[in-house]
Amino acid sequence: MNDNVRFIRDGEAANQMSTHNIFAVFIVGEMSVTTALLKKLTAQGISVFLLNNNLRTKAAVMAEAGGNYLLREKQYACVKELTIAANIVANKINEQEKMLKKCKRTYDANVFTNARSMLQKVSDREQLLGIEGYTTPQSFCKNLVYTYRSFQMGIGLI
């Protein structure tokens, strides 16, 4: 099975890329795309977005699997060594904390310190996914309360 996407310009192959390295496809402007390609991409968890020349989304063909989990899963599958993946997660954690400081948001610094220390002892991809997910709630508003399919500001927390 051919796992490459080939880009053809004026009847000539201009470039090609392995589907294992693609997270999403953004098509800007007018272009021909086959249904076979759309089926193959979505089956491999790759969403396709059709944009106009002003980069406004006109249509989207969404992949079957869920967004962030699949993206993170592909990131770890693409890297050859666990240490490289751990460095990617460490950079994400550092940038997340930097953003919280820059926005002057209150957060638990121990969460980030603990995550960094856990990264030193990580032994597999699943642990790495857990460590990355451990710090994520710090970036979201703590005043939001889940109320029947919607988030609302908590009473008296504003």
Q: Which of 76, 85, 111, 84 minimizes the C-alpha distance to 97?
A: 111
Distance of alpha carbon 5 from alpha carbon 42, whole angstroms: 13
pLDDT digits (tens, 9 = 90+) for 101-136: 888 888 888 888 999 999 988 888 788 888 888 887
In degrees and rounded to multiples of 5, residue 152 shows phi and psi of -135, 155
Q: Are 40 and 19 in contact (CB under 8 A)?
A: yes
Distance of alpha carbon 103 from alpha carbon 81, whole angstroms: 34
Tell which CATH architecture fits domain 4-61. Ribosomal Protein L15; Chain: K; domain 2 (3.100)
Four-residue CA torsion sign, 37, 70, 61, 32:
negative
CA atoms within 13 A on the CB side of 141: 10
Any residues with CB less than 8 A from the CB of 78 and at least 6 apart, and which?
20, 21
pLDDT of residue 139: 65
Q: Are 125 and 82 in contact (CB under 8 A)?
A: yes
Domain boundaries, the chain: 4-61, 79-144
pLDDT digits (tens, 9 = 90+) for 57-109: 888 888 865 556 666 666 666 555 677 888 888 998 898 888 888 888 888 88
